[in-house]
């Protein structure tokens, strides 16, 4: 589609708002699962193109006024509909069976959380297992000497540099020491320099009782694949004035990186990170942030720290029964749907812009309200949903039928969001000669079609 003065603001709106879009607005329960539904194969793209062509064969010619508000609303509506589609798709189990995704539980969420993703499951995945955590994975941390924060730097003002050596690359960082700089000024300057360099390290200034130190941490967790450490700081062969490493003591205290050590049903395992898969289907995340690191004298955050903080280092992980999994799927759907509604209708201050969509969704939900009530779903006056878990329900036929219908509705919204923008019909298409112009329905449709590639 050619770029014109009409379409330029659409591109600008889309790129600024959605170029780096993620699923943050979606429910946290499905954010990882939804990623696999955000890509499309050739057949899906072909079907989408054919749907655009078919719609345009019978579409009249409209006169639109693409104001900045309508541009933003149409694009936001399309993207929100796609997000909700991904949420619903992520609740599908084998053979794309809606609302059949099994869900996993952890009886100690503060120690380990879990998501069930069966795509890479091994044979004979157990219904539950016991996880014992001995040690968390940790990064390498270099902490400099603690120095008086407000004391002037005891270095000659000059241009200095130091080298950071990683397993793959060699970086030289250059900076100036100015007259009147304090120790904290210098540490803050180096912290910003490291953070802005994007070299796989992060830095911060830590303070205690009038003293300050520079703390440098590797982004990588676990034991290095090559070499003894993730990074080494030196100024032995640097280009500018040396001495900063010795002055700050950047290698004064080094906390070595460690692997996570744990056992599955008594069998010891290890991992480079605190995220790992068990039996290919259970994706476990350990939470060292909930351990009291000060409770142990070791430099490693161990299970003893967890126990000292009054927490258990053992957790049972397994699959919910089918009825509970169905209830969790319905709850996740309702959360995703309400997020969609709050984003495209209830948060919009311009009521005329949203009245068409609001009226259409009210009508759609009224047709399904009786069936939804069987599953504890109530339709509110503002077209949002409310869910109350009731008796265990294992028959998902009704909710699956509703899921199929709402997916069709979302596909229609995504295909042409301009259906919900006020527009005037200028002329009807000639029934004896239809021309399948793929971008005639909406100037938004053709441009946003590229977002699927």
Domains of the chain by residue range:
8-100+324-452, 104-138+258-319, 139-255
User: Which of 58-72, 240-254, 368-382 has the weakest average pLDDT?
Assistant: 58-72
pTM for the model: 0.69
Q: What is the pLDDT of residues 253-266, one digit of tens each?
A: 999 999 999 999 99
Instruction: Give every CB contact of residue 426 below 8 A, 6+ residues apart in sequence.
Output: 60, 61, 62, 63
Is residue 412 very low, low, confident or very high in pLDDT (cuts 50, 70, 90)?
confident
pLDDT at 434: 61
pLDDT at 316: 94
Mean pLDDT across the stretch 345-355?
66
Q: Given a cut of 60, is residue 136 above it in pLDDT?
A: yes
10 Å CB burial of residue 228 (0-12, 13-18, 19+) is: exposed
Structural tokens at position 166: 């990683």
pLDDT at 194: 94
Q: What is the pLDDT of residues 6-51, one digit of tens each?
A: 555 655 655 566 555 544 444 444 445 555 556 666 777 777 777 7
- Yes or no: say if 287 and 110 are a contact pair by the CB < 8 Å rule: yes
Mean pLDDT across the stretch 136-160?
94
Residue 4: phi and psi, rounded to 5, are -130, 180
- DSSP structural state of residue 206: E
Residues, the chain, total? 453
Task: Tell me how far CA of residue 176 lies from CA of 156, 157, 193, 244, in angstroms.
Answer: 10, 7, 11, 11
Q: How many helices (DSSP H) and strands (DSSP E) are in the chain?
A: 11, 20
Which residue is it, tokens 């009226």? 359
Structural tokens at position 72: 């933003």
Is residue 54 very low, low, confident or very high in pLDDT (cuts 50, 70, 90)?
confident
How many whole angstroms from its chain centre is CA 280?
Answer: 21
Mean pLDDT across the stretch 287-306?
58
- Rounded distance between C-alpha atoms, residue 15 and residue 251, angstroms: 44
Q: Given a cut of 60, is residue 308 above it in pLDDT?
A: no
Architecture per CATH, domain 139-255, reads as Sandwich (2.60)
- Rounded distance between C-alpha atoms, residue 306 and residue 288, angstroms: 8
Is residue 3 very low, low, confident or very high in pLDDT (cuts 50, 70, 90)?
very low
Q: What is the pLDDT of residues 322-331, one digit of tens each?
A: 888 899 999 9
Q: Given a cut of 60, is residue 203 above it in pLDDT?
A: yes
Three-class DSSP labels, 54-113: HHHHCCCEEECCCCHHHHHHHHHHHHHHHHHHHHHHHCCCHHHCCCCCCCEEECCCCCEE
Mean pLDDT across the stretch 433-451?
52
Closest by Cα among 69, 141, 49, 20 to 348 = 69
- Rounded distance between C-alpha atoms, residue 43 and residue 226, angstroms: 43
What value does the mean pLDDT of the chain take? 80
pLDDT at 24: 43
């Amino acid at each position: 589609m050619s770029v014109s003065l009409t379409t330029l603001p659409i591109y600008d709106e889309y790129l600024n708002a959605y170029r780096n879009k993620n699923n943050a607005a979606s429910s946290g329960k499905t954010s990882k699962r939804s990623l696999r539904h955000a890509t499309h194969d050739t057949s899906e793209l072909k079907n989408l193109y054919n749907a655009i062509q078919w719609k345009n064969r019978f579409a009249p010619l409209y006169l639109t006024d693409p104001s900045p508000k309508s541009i933003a609303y149409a694009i936001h509506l399309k993207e929100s509909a796609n997000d909700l589609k991904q949420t619903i798709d992520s609740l599908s189990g084998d053979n794309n069976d809606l609302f059949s995704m099994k869900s996993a539980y952890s009886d100690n969420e503060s120690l380990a959380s879990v998501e069930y993703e069966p795509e890479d499951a091994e044979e004979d995945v157990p219904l539950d297992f016991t996880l014992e955590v001995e040690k968390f994975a940790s990064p390498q941390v270099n902490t400099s000497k603690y120095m008086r924060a407000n004391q002037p730097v005891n270095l000659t003002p000059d241009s200095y540099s130091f080298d950071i050596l990683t397993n793959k690359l060699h970086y030289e960082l250059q900076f100036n020491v100015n007259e009147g700089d304090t120790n904290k000024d210098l540490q803050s300057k180096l912290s910003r320099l490291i953070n802005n360099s994007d070299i796989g390290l992060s830095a911060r200034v830590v303070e205690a009782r009038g003293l300050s130190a520079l703390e440098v941490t590797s982004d990588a967790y676990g034991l290095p694949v090559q070499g003894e450490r993730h990074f080494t700081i030196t100024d032995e062969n640097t280009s500018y004035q040396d001495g900063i490493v010795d002055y700050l003591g950047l290698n004064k205290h080094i906390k070595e990186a460690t692997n996570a050590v744990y056992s599955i049903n008594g069998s010891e395992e290890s991992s480079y990170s605190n995220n790992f898969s068990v039996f290919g289907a259970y994706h476990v995340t350990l939470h060292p942030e909930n351990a009291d690191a000060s409770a142990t004298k070791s430099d490693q955050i161990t299970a003893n720290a967890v126990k000292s903080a009054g927490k258990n280092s053992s957790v049972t992980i397994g699959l919910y029964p089918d009825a509970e999994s169905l209830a969790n799927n319905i709850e996740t759907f309702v959360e995703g749907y309400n997020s969609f509604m709050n984003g495209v209708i209830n948060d919009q201050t311009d009521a005329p812009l949203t009245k068409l969509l609001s009226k259409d969704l009210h009508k759609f939900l009224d047709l399904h309200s009786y069936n939804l009530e069987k599953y504890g779903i109530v339709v509110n006056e503002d077209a949002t949903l409310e869910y109350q878990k009731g008796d265990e329900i294992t028959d998902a036929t009704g909710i699956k039928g509703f899921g199929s219908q709402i997916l069709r509705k979302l596909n229609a919204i995504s295909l042409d969001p301009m259906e919900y923008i006020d527009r005037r019909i200028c002329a009807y298409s000639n029934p004896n000669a239809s021309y399948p112009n793929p971008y005639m329905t909406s100037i938004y449709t053709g441009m946003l079609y590229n977002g699927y590639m």
